[in-house]
Amino acid sequence: MHKRSLWVGLLLILPIMLLSACWTPKAAAFSQEERLFSQAWRIVSQSYVDDTFNHQNWWSLRQKTLKKRLPNREATYTAIETMLGSLGDPFTRLLRPEQYHSLQISTSGELSGVGLQIAIDVETGQLEVITPIAQSPADLAGIRPRDHILEIDGMLTRDMTLDEAAARMRGPIGTTVTLKIQSQKEQPKLVEIVRDRISLNPVYSVLDTQDNRDPVGYIRLSQFSANAPMEVAHAVAKLKEMGADGYILDLRNNPGGLLQAGIEIARLWLDQGTIVYTVNRQGTIGSFEAYGDALTEDPLVVLVNQGSASASEILAGALQDNGRAKLVGEKTFGKGLIQSLFELIDGSGLAVTVAKYETPNHRDINKLGIEPDLEVPLEAITMSQVGTEADSQYQEAIKLLTSDTFLAKAS
């Protein structure tokens, strides 16, 4: 199923790239609107993963658009969105200045809004939840992964783009938004949510010493922000000092984030081996490798579910294919495409799909996801029950981590 995803408040997928415009004398005669459109066209022409551009003449599309009048900025944005829409790729999109600014703010570790990552199923047009941010207003309101958002303040989401839906759910702290939510096999219900500032501290860790067994270090990673590798490293060091003999890395409901953060966290657990392959439009395969000493050689189990996406899948795939960890939980989301962000001359931006990725064993997980080694369905639990006796996936991970067979293989 083809999906696209975006943080409400926006979340950066790859480091921002600034493409400098190379103007020719002829280009100098263009209007400001024509220059903006031409810059967007050129970025896609040079960077987009599919060099057939969805089997269309990309130059001809540019010429046809520039023959039309672009009287104002809104008309130019519409022309860019129409051009991008012709690619049939929901991940390649225009970010207007306010959206681009929100994205930049989100990388600092805070969001303002309801705290949802959302997706649009392009086959059905339904807006769905990938995951709520832990302890966000949406999470506390009981919204869960795979819930459908039918309306936002009375407006049908079927008529909205992904960015429009995200923009309608953002807003000043303390204001209210009403969502019409339909959970699986349940009747739709109205949920009123008060927007708030959401702290994106990505790591929670604790030493589990219950049941008279060897202590287990539990690390929950909620997103791959710029500071995530450092925070995970600190958590491992602290738990190791406290006596942890094994680790559980919880990537459930982690929708991804910075690709580089996922790579650096993989290097914390791997001495050597490929972490991920990237494939560009020429079919050229690049790779990121592990090097140096891992922080620990102790056994590791990774928890995943349907809300584990993008960088979570890169990390989980790297640890699984290299035999470093076992995966427990549910099949992951299935987003195997890489976007780069380019800034345009007016302060807006383009998110452009530039490559796809494959796991170390050359698995393409886009739309397919990663299968866990041990499949364990998760019953609905509250955030306070995660990592407790009520958390069936966590309990199965504990059993696996402390079993004699697993410990023998790990050693």
**Which CATH number fits the domain that encloses residue 283?**
3.90.226.10
Mark whether 216 and 181 lie in a shared domain.
no
Q: Are strands 116-121 and 148-152 parallel, antiparallel or unpaired?
A: unpaired
Answer yes or no: do 257 and 365 share one domain.
Answer: yes
Higher per-residue pLDDT: 385 or 362: 362
Instruction: Identify the weakest region by mean pLDDT among 57-66, 136-145, 354-363, 379-388.
Output: 379-388
CA dist 86 and 176 (Å) reads 35
Q: What is the CATH number of the domain that holds 153?
A: 2.30.42.10
Q: Which residues contact 251 (CB under 8 A, 6 or more apart)?
A: 221, 302, 303, 304, 308, 312, 315, 316
Amino acid at 71: P
pLDDT, tens digit, for every residue of 302-359?
999 999 999 999 999 999 999 999 999 999 999 999 888 899 999 999 999 999 999 9
155 occurs within a structural domain: yes
Stretch 356-364: mean pLDDT, rounded?
95
List active site positions. 310, 321, 335
Give the pLDDT confidence score for residue 121 in this predicted structure.
67
Q: Which amino acid would we find at residue 282?
A: Q
Q: Residue 145 — very low, low, confident or very high, per pLDDT cuts 50/70/90? A: confident
* One domain, residues 315 and 267: yes
Mean pLDDT, the chain, rounded, equals 86
Strands 93-95 and 110-113: unpaired
pLDDT for 108: 52
266 and 156 in a common domain: no
Average pLDDT (294-308) is: 96
Q: What percent of the chain has pLDDT over 70?
A: 87
Q: Which positions ≥6 away from 350 have C-beta within 8 Å?
A: 40, 43, 44, 80, 84, 92, 93, 94, 95, 341, 342, 344
Domain presence at residue 227: yes
207 in the same domain as 193: no
Same domain, 53 and 164: no
Q: Domain limits at 76?
A: 32-89
Question: CATH number, domain at 65?
Answer: 3.30.750.44
**Same-domain pairing of 173 and 242:** no
Which pLDDT does position 123 carry in this prediction?
63
Q: How many domains does the chain have?
A: 3
**Residue 304: its pLDDT value, please?**
97
Map 340-386 to HEC letters.
EEEECCCCCEEEEEEEEEECCCCCCCCCCCCCCCEECCCCCCCHHHC
Q: What is the mean pLDDT of residues 25-32?
A: 60
The answer to whether residues 222 and 317 belong to one domain is yes
